[in-house]
Amino acid sequence: MAEIRIDTVRKVFGKFTALKDVSLTVHDREFMVLLGPSGCGKTTLLRCIAGLEYPQRGRIYIGGRDVTDEPPRRRQIAMVFQSYAVFPHLTVYENIAFGLRMQKKRDDEVKRRVGRSADLMQISHLLERYPAQLSGGQRQRVAVARALVMEPAVLLMDEPLSNLDALLRLQARAELKRLLQEVQTTTVYVTHDQIEALSMGDRIAVMQQGEIVQVDQPTRVYDDPMNTFVGGFIGSPPMNFLKGALRGANGASAVSVGGQTLQVPLRLTTPPQGDVLLGIRAENIEAYRQPTPGSLPARVLVVEPLGSHLLLTVQVGEEVAKVATRTDFPVAPDETIYLQPEPGKIRLYDSQTKLLLGASA
């Protein structure tokens, strides 16, 4: 059992609070992704789990044991850093064996464990090579093998794919996901790449300015962002947020947007009245050439053919939104089209707090 429990951890650097009383539980064998923009505290949180930073407040438990006051080597963790720093003068074999040699393990045990971990990462045929003779993706797998060989209870990875070019990153992502599924070690994986987070994580913890704002399965984070920050950060393009006003009671609420009224069936016990933000993703808006009942007229500003779909930038009332359509949708800039958001996909946000008010029914 290697559950990680982070309990109200605060980390302050001088006058700057990098972690504002963060709490998070990572289940045994779970693959948890920490996602957020640069400077939000991802590395700092990972370093606190590793024991490389000491929090001013809060406790950290690994496998039920309070490790807050324990040094890194007593925490049964292994960490893969962003600059995965393999030793250039050592072969792949000796790179992977390094930690075991430090622990003065016997040769036969080193051989057995290096062999197994190289097998897992599918680099057994590369053991005699030097890092300079490897591709970026292979070097990255050496770094992971070097961590796994320590048989850690917890694997911590800080942007391990960020040194790779876009195509290699895509391959390495799928490969790493498959390999780590076999290992079944509790993993905390840091990235600022939302696609990586969506594709790899069992759950995603989204961070914003030293706080965790949402912890959920990828589909939940994508479909029901807790606030407009999460909806804007996850997904490409970001979720649209249109200013609107809410009227009507539960079950039959109407939101007026850009002078048009949309019926939004809401599941709220106390529906708020007044200003709201209507959140809707580009692919959840149907576009028509002719007006349909209750549709929003929009002026097309930009048409971008993206291969699998067209991405339209449109003006709705005072606001700009993104709409995805089929590639055969006939449309040109300056034309007027009519938009129909899928009722089940509309999310309403408080215009002040930016928090999710509730999902439509």
Ligand X SMILES: Nc1ncnc2c1ncn2[C@@H]1O[C@H](COP(=O)(O)OP(=O)(O)OP(=O)(O)O)[C@@H](O)[C@H]1O
The rounded distance, in Å, linking the Cα atoms of 203 and 336 is 41
Residue type, 284: N
> Which of Mg ion, ligand X, none does residue 38 bind (CB under 5 to 8 Å by kind)?
ligand X
Look at the alpha carbons of 272, 277, 278, 281 in this order and tell me if their dihedral is positive or negative. Answer: negative
Q: Which stretch binds Mg ion (CB under 5 A): 42-50, 65-73, 248-256, 314-322?
A: 42-50
The rounded distance, in Å, linking the Cα atoms of 96 and 127 is 9
Q: Which stretch binds ligand X (CB under 6 A): 42-50, 139-147, 220-228, 312-320?
A: 42-50
Contact between 18 and ligand X (CB under 6 A)?
A: yes
* Of positions 43, 187, 253, 351, contacts ligand X by CB under 6 A: 43
* Of positions 19, 26, 34, 43, contacts Mg ion by CB under 5 A: 43
Rg over CA atoms, the chain = 24
Contact between 187 and Mg ion (CB under 5 A)?
A: no
* Of positions 8, 13, 112, 252, contacts ligand X by CB under 6 A: 13
* Of positions 31, 32, 42, 239, contacts ligand X by CB under 6 A: 42
Q: Which stretch binds ligand X (CB under 6 A): 39-47, 258-266, 273-281, 329-337?
A: 39-47
Tell me the sheet residues that pair with 9.
22
CB atoms within 10 A of CB 332: 7
DSSP character for 29? T
193/224 with CB nearer Mg ion: 193
15/326 with CB nearer ligand X: 15
For residues 305, 310, 311 and 317, what is the CA-based torsion angle, rounded to 10 degrees?
A: 130
Contact between 194 and ligand X (CB under 6 A)?
A: no
Across 299-329, b (16+ Cβ under 10 Å) vs e yields ebeebeeeeebbbbbbebbeeebbbbbeeeb
Contact between 194 and Mg ion (CB under 5 A)?
A: no
Distance of CA 38 to the CA centre of its chain: 13
Contact between 192 and ligand X (CB under 6 A)?
A: yes
> Which of Mg ion, ligand X, none does residue 358 bind (CB under 5 to 8 Å by kind)?
none
* Of positions 2, 22, 33, 40, contacts ligand X by CB under 6 A: 40
> Which of Mg ion, ligand X, none does residue 41 bind (CB under 5 to 8 Å by kind)?
ligand X
113/192 with CB nearer Mg ion: 192
Residues 6+ away with beta carbon under 8 Å from 242? 257, 258, 277, 278, 280, 316, 317, 319, 321
Q: Which stretch binds ligand X (CB under 6 A): 38-46, 138-146, 268-276, 343-351?
A: 38-46
Contact between 173 and ligand X (CB under 6 A)?
A: no
Smallest distance, ligand X to C-beta of residue 15, A: 10
The pair of structure tokens assigned to 326 is 């089929």
Smallest distance, Mg ion to C-beta of residue 42, A: 5
82/313 with CB nearer Mg ion: 82
Side-by-side strand order, sheet with 260-264 = 260-264, 253-257, 240-247, 274-280, 347-350, 356-359
Contact between 41 and ligand X (CB under 6 A)?
A: yes
Alpha carbon separation from 232 to 9, 189, 257, 337, 354 (Å, rounded): 26, 21, 19, 24, 11
Which residues lie near Mg ion (CB under 5 A)?
Answer: 43
Which residues lie near ligand X (CB under 6 A)?
Answer: 13, 16, 18, 36, 38-44, 192
